[in-house]
């Protein structure tokens, strides 16, 4: 095996599992330490720089970081990264003094953003302080996109949206609210230097089965219905409600129904409970509110009488796997199931729709009617038109929308400077020893043994009584501290210097996780099997260093390292050091233009 090149910024970045998994590469352990230190404002600003909406995301993020979190590999549950973000947002002081100010001077470049969702707002935030003149077109009366129109208030209070969207609007973009764009050609004709399409995936899929037309008055498309609720156009629903679908829209529909008069609300899904798209915690939240989830039931017909919906019938199916492992749903042969109801919410998927983009202006679409978008630059085949968020590759989530926004802003900034946007800027990285004394480090290396803490909830009866009451109360300072202490500080890297090592084995002996081995070198596969504890997780690297006196190599399995620093404390020669690796992605601005 070759010695590891730790100068490659990706190497240590990957060790910080959460940051690597976060689409916006938020420096997670850095902000978690700040929370533990009670420095909530600083923790917030670290987040704000990376993910733009810490208060929103601290309540709603899809949290790809958590399944990646190393803590989940060494004990039962990962660190509650997402809810710690909320602690920073809840407990921070007034941050306005730390935010960028509107540019004093325009740089002469004009950019149009279509849609005011998180993707567009991120582009706006990154470009406005640089002097760009930014115009935002939004069909809704307020900015925020689906954060405002879809996510129910009991998960995300409007004040949080107003605050964080407000920080961006404070940078003074030109806002054209209530203005639906019907022609991209017309927008391009206004001579913008770049146009960013952040219109989301605005169309909810329908279910064309028998009875759909006749019972239409009581059948609602989930996302349309949720936005009508959000904007106050709908205030109640029947007592008995069926929600069709297993994604997060379905989960929000059923829980919203419980608060608008639905006392008997059921979720029905075609496939199995485990395969549902909704996250485990979303399903838990729904079931906690007495909403049963019925699975393996395929909708057959809307039943109606005298032009009114009376219920639905379903065919019962089971999963069968063919030789290729593909799943088919086959009828069980049992009689159909009829469920009576007053209303049905159809939440069976979301689609992109670009009827307003002319097909003759140089933007190519694929066979699924999606624009061809470069995953690195976010550019379409018409280079000055960029896509991001749900509009780019289909419905994802807020944090991906933000990540796309940052990348698009970099592309626009480079393009406007006459640089090639395909050349991406390297991240900004600092690596610094954390040693303060023989056994003293500038981080808390005493690993907490606590299990994951639960976020306290408002009592159910109270929560169901008011659609605007936030269900989760959030961690208080004490719980936040205890949960923060569970973080393993994966960004404090074990850095090895072979020339200082005397091969005394002290690090091997003390390591609580059996991470370190001194052995004869070999092919990676062979070496992995020969380690103190075999390294069976191929997604995690082996840190290998050569140059030892005995000719052996030092091989460290990064997989389950606790970053406890005991190897470094036990090393008599300082061959091991604990060095904090802080990585910030490069955003639009001077730094992103330095590479040609």
**Which residues here bind ligand FAD, judged by CB under 6 A?**
60-62, 114-120, 137-140, 145-147, 150-151, 180-181, 198-200, 202, 223, 226, 248-249, 252, 356, 389-391, 395-399, 401
Min dist. Cβ of residue 525 to ligand SF4 (A)? 22
Instruction: Please report how close the Cβ of residue 490 comes to ligand SF4 at its closest, in angstroms.
Output: 3
Q: Which residues contact 575 (CB under 8 A, 6 or more apart)?
A: 496, 497, 498, 500, 501, 502
- For the bound state, the minimum distance from the C-beta of residue 318 to ligand FAD, rounded and expressed in Å, comes to 29
Please state whether beta strands 133-138 and 110-114 pair in parallel, antiparallel, or not at all (unpaired): parallel
In contact, 321 and 295? CB cutoff 8 Å: no
Q: In this complex, which beta carbon is closest to another protein, that of residue 323 or of residue 449?
A: 449
What tokens were used for 409?
């802003």
178 belongs to the binding site for another protein (CB under 8 A): no
Candidates 287, 428, 502, 529; binder of another protein (CB under 8 A) is 502
**Apex 158 CA angle, 154 and 161, nearest 5:** 120
* Cα–Cα distance measured from residue 199 to residue 584, given in angstroms and rounded to the nearest whole number: 28
- Residue 308's DSSP bridge partners are 305
Beta bridge partners, 441, equal: 435
Interacting partner of 504 out of ligand FAD, another protein, ligand SF4, none (Cβ under 5 to 8 A depending on kind): another protein
DSSP string, 21-65: HSTT---HHHHHHHHHTT-HHHHHHHHHHHHS-HHHHHHH---TH
CB nearer to ligand SF4: pick between 257 and 489: 489
Please, which residues have CB within 8 angstroms of residue 122's CB and are 6 or more apart in sequence?
A: 52, 388, 401, 402, 404, 405, 406, 409
Q: Rule CB under 6 A: say whether 80 interacts with ligand SF4.
A: no
The SS3 call for residue 435 is strand
Length of the chain: 596
Q: Which of 182, 466, 476, 505 binds another protein (CB under 8 A)?
A: 505
- If the CB atoms of residues 420 and 573 are measured against another protein, the closer one turns out to be 573
DSSP H or E stretch at residue 320: strand 308-321
Q: Find the part of the chain contacting another protein (CB under 8 A) among 37-45, 69-77, 120-128, 420-428.
A: 69-77
Work out whether 541 is an interface residue with ligand SF4 (CB under 6 A).
no
Q: With H, G, I as helix, E, B as strand and everything else as coil, classify residue 300.
A: strand
Q: How far lies 300's CA from each of 163, 215, 291, 297, 349, in Å?
A: 45, 14, 22, 9, 17
Question: Using the rule CB under 6 A, which residue among 4, 12, 18, 269 binds ligand SF4?
Answer: 18
- Of the residues 33, 63, 71, 404, which one makes contact with ligand SF4 according to CB under 6 A: 71
Among 181, 206, 198, which Cα is nearest to 355's? 181
The stretch near ligand SF4 (CB under 6 A) out of 48-56, 68-76, 124-132, 165-173 is: 68-76
The answer to the question of residue 549 lying near another protein (CB under 8 A) is yes
Calpha distance 274→239 (Å, rounded): 28
Contact present, 53 and 402 (Cβ < 8 Å): yes
Stretch that binds ligand SF4, among 96-104, 276-284, 303-311, 506-514 (CB under 6 A): 506-514
Q: Is 160 in the site for another protein (CB under 8 A)?
A: no
Q: Where are the alpha helices (DSSP H) in 345-393?
A: 390-393
Residue 67 near another protein by CB under 8 A: no
Count CA atoms closer than 13 A to 234's CA, side-chain side.
22
Give, as ranges, the residues between 441 and 500 that touch another protein (CB under 8 A): 445-447, 449
Question: Of the candidates 103, 329, 533, 544, which one interacts with another protein according to CB under 8 A?
Answer: 533
Q: Please tell me whether residue 158 binds another protein under the rule CB under 8 A.
A: no
Pattern 560-589, binding to ligand SF4, x per CB under 6 A? -xxxxxxx----------------------
| Helix-, strand-, coil-residue percentages of the chain, each rounded to 5 | 30, 20, 50
Q: Which of 288, 439, 468, 590 binds another protein (CB under 8 A)?
A: 439
- Cβ proximity to ligand FAD: between 144 and 565 the closer is 144
Q: Which entry of ligand SF4, another protein, ligand FAD, none binds 81, CB below 5 to 8 A by partner kind? A: ligand SF4
CB of 294 to ligand SF4, least distance (A): 35
Candidate residues 235, 372, 536, 594; the one interacting with another protein per rule CB under 8 A: 536
- Residues interacting with ligand SF4, by CB under 6 A? 16-18, 28-29, 69-71, 78-79, 81, 487-490, 494, 510-513, 515-516, 556, 561-567
């Amino acid at each position: 095996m070759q010695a590891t090149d730790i100068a490659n910024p990706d190497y240590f970045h990957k060790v910080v599992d959460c940051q690597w998994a976060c689409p916006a590469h938020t420096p997670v352990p850095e902000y978690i330490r700040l929370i533990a230190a009670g420095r909530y404002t600083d923790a917030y600003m670290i987040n704000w720089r990376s993910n733009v909406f810490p208060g929103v995301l601290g309540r709603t993020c899809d949290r790809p970081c958590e399944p990646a979190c190393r803590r989940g590999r060494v004990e039962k549950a990962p660190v509650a990264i997402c809810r710690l973000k909320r602690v920073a947002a809840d407990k921070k002081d007034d941050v306005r003094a730390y935010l960028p100010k509107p540019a004093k001077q325009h740089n002469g470049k004009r950019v149009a953003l279509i849609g005011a969702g998180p993707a567009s707002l991120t582009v706006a935030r990154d470009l406005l302080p640089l002097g760009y003149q930014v115009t935002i077109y939004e069909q809704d009366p307020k900015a925020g996109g689906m954060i405002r129109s879809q996510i129910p208030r009991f998960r995300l209070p409007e004040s949080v949206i107003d605050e964080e969207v407000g920080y961006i609007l404070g940078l003074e973009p030109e806002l054209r609210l209530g203005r639906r764009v019907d022609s991209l050609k017309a927008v391009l004709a206004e001579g913008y230097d770049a146009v960013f399409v952040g219109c989301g995936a605005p169309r909810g899929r329908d279910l064309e089965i028998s009875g759909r037309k006749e019972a239409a008055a009581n059948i609602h498309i989930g996302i349309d219905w949720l936005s009508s609720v959000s904007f106050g156009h709908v205030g109640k629903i029947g007592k008995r409600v069926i929600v069709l679908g297993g994604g997060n829209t379905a989960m929000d529909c059923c829980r919203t129904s419980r608060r608008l008069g639905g006392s008997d609300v059921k979720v029905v899904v075609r496939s199995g409970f485990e395969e549902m798209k909704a996250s485990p915690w979303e399903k838990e939240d729904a079931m906690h509110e007495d909403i049963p989830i019925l699975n393996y039931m395929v909708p057959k017909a809307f039943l109606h009488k005298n032009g009114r919906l009376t219920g639905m019938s379903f065919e019962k199916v089971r999963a069968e796997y063919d030789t290729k492992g593909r799943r088919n749903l086959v009828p069980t042969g049992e009689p159909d199931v009829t469920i009576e109801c007053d209303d049905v919410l159809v939440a069976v998927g979301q689609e992109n729709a670009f009827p307003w983009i002319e097909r003759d202006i140089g933007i190519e679409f694929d066979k699924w009617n999606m624009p061809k978008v470069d995953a690195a630059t976010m550019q379409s085949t018409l280079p000055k038109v960029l896509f991001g968020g749900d509009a780019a590759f289909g419905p994802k989530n807020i944090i991906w929308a933000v990540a796309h926004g940052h990348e698009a802003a970099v592309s626009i900034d480079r393009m406007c400077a006459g640089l090639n946007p395909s050349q991406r800027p390297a991240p900004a990285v600092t690596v610094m020893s954390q040693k303060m004394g023989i056994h003293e480090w500038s981080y808390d290396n005493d690993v907490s043994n606590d299990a994951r803490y639960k976020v306290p909830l408002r009592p159910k009866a109270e929560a169901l009584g008011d659609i605007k009451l936030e269900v989760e109360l959030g961690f208080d300072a004490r719980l936040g501290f205890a949960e923060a202490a569970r973080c393993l500080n994966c960004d404090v890297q074990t850095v090895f210097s072979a020339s200082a090592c005397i091969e005394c084995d002290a690090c091997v002996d003390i390591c609580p996780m059996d991470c370190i081995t001194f052995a004869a070198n070999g092919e990676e596969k062979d070496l992995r099997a020969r380690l103190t504890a075999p390294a069976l997780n191929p997604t995690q690297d082996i840190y290998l260093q050569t140059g030892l006196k005995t000719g052996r190599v030092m091989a460290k399995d990064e997989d389950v390292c606790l970053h406890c620093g005991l190897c470094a404390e036990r090393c008599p020669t300082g061959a091991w050091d604990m060095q904090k690796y802080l990585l910030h992605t490069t955003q639009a601005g001077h730094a992103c233009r330095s590479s040609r």
